[in-house]
């Protein structure tokens, strides 16, 4: 197990000077797959979305939200005194649409957008990474325009190329993405997730987003809990571990900085529902 990586855990690792770090530069351990303890209402709760609260869909826009999930988030939010935040790669606008009428604290685009518990939205602006994304955009669009099953998701602040419809092209797609990334490796990081490669600014990640929430009310002083399922969530698990909190990785046991595991999206929702007051 140690040292092995599953296909959905292959990372882009760039450790040379001048190249921005990725979560993989932090030491990872083989995750215990033991289930987490019951959720403590005193904790600050951070939840990834796709693959954690929602089953992953063939395309992001096809994701299904169970009818009772927004109400569950509302109950948990009340129970945790509003110290509950979604931590997602999706834009805030998509999160609000998916979970309406719930609209609490949330970090979108891996932290490029962050809505505090009081409703104030912070947006990270970085001209260098924006220019690098502008140069990459037409190249990725050309890759996805050949009708071969690739989908470019242009989130504005990040660019994601999905290949779920053509998993047999994984090696080729990742090699092409690596080559493109070399042109902008000082300002962008390349994340290889579940059937997706994503270019995002070096200046944001889910660990930084969680740390920002924990520095302000109502999160400050609360022991943090973070549930996630994918490569980008490891930044969050590293931050949680550093603070002595509870990290929970969703899916089969794997190499991770999370100390606990839950096997599936359904098991996450059951674990949350058991913790929520009626
Ligand atoms: Mg996820």
Ligand 1 centre and the CA of 126: distance in Å? 24
Q: What pLDDT was estimated at residue 193?
A: 85
Banded pLDDT at 7 (limits 50, 70, 90)? very low
Per residue in 180-222, pLDDT tens? 999 999 999 999 888 999 999 999 999 999 999 999 999 999 9
Q: Phi, psi (5° rounding) for residue 141?
A: -65, -40
Identify the residue whose tokens are 């403590």: 40
Q: What pLDDT was estimated at residue 29?
A: 58
pLDDT of 179 > 50? The answer is yes
Q: Phi, psi (5° rounding) for residue 274?
A: -65, -25
CATH 3.40.50.1000 domain extents, the chain: 24-123+205-275
CA distance 185 to 178: 9
Ligand 1 centre and the CA of 193: distance in Å? 9
CATH 3.30.70.1020 domain extents, the chain: 125-201
Ligand 1 centre and the CA of 53: distance in Å? 8
Q: Which residues are catalytic?
A: 48
Q: What pLDDT was estimated at residue 28?
A: 56
Ligand 1 centre and the CA of 7: distance in Å? 15
Domain 125-201 has CATH 3.30.70.1020: yes
DSSP state of 22: -
Task: Output the 3-class SS for 226-271.
Answer: EEECCCCHHHHHHHHHHCCCEEEEECCCCEECCCEEECCHHHHHHH
Three-state secondary structure call for residue 128: helix
Query: How is residue 85 written in tokens?
Result: 């935040």
Average pLDDT over residues 223-242: 96
Report the predicted TM-score, pTM, of the whole model to 2 decimal places. 0.86
Ligand 1 centre and the CA of 186: distance in Å? 25
Class of domain 24-123+205-275: alpha beta
Ligand 1 centre and the CA of 44: distance in Å? 19
Ligand 1 centre and the CA of 232: distance in Å? 8
Per residue in 37-59, pLDDT tens? 999 999 999 999 999 999 998 88
Question: What is the overall mean pLDDT for the chain?
Answer: 87
Ligand 1 centre and the CA of 52: distance in Å? 6
Query: Of the ranges 8-22, 107-121, 165-179, which one carries the lowest mean pLDDT score?
Result: 8-22
Q: Is the peptide bond before 201 cis (omega within 30 degrees of 0)?
A: no
């Amino acid at each position: 197990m140690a040292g092995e990586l599953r296909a959905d855990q292959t990372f882009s690792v760039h450790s040379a000077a001048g190249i921005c770090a990725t979560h993989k530069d932090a030491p990872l351990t083989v995750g215990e797959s033991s289930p987490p303890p019951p959720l403590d209402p005193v904790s600050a709760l951070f939840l990834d979305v796709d693959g954690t609260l929602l089953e992953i869909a063939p395309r992001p826009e096809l994701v299904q939200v169970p009818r009772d999930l927004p109400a569950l988030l509302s109950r948990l939010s009340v129970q945790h005194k509003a110290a509950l935040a979604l931590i997602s790669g999706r834009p805030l606008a998509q999160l609000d649409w998916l979970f309406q009428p719930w609209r609490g604290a949330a970090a979108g685009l891996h932290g490029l957008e962050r809505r505090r518990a009081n409703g104030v939205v912070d947006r990270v602006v970085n001209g260098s990474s924006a220019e690098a994304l502008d140069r990459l955009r037409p190249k990725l669009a050309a890759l996805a325009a050949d009708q071969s099953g690739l989908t470019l998701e242009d989130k504005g602040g990040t660019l994601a190329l999905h290949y779920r419809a053509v998993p047999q092209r994984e090696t080729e797609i990742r090699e092409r993405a690596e080559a493109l990334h070399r042109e902008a490796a000082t300002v962008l990081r390349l994340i290889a997730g579940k059937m997706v490669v994503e270019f995002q600014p070096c200046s944001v990640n889910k660990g930084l987003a969680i740390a920002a929430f924990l520095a302000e009310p109502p999160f400050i002083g609360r022991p943090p809990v973070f549930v996630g399922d994918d490569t980008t969530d490891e930044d969050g698990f590293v931050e949680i571990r550093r603070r002595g909190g509870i990290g929970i990785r969703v899916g089969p046991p794997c190499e991770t900085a999370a100390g606990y595991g839950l096997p599936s999206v359904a098991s996450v929702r059951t674990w949350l529902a058991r913790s929520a007051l009626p």
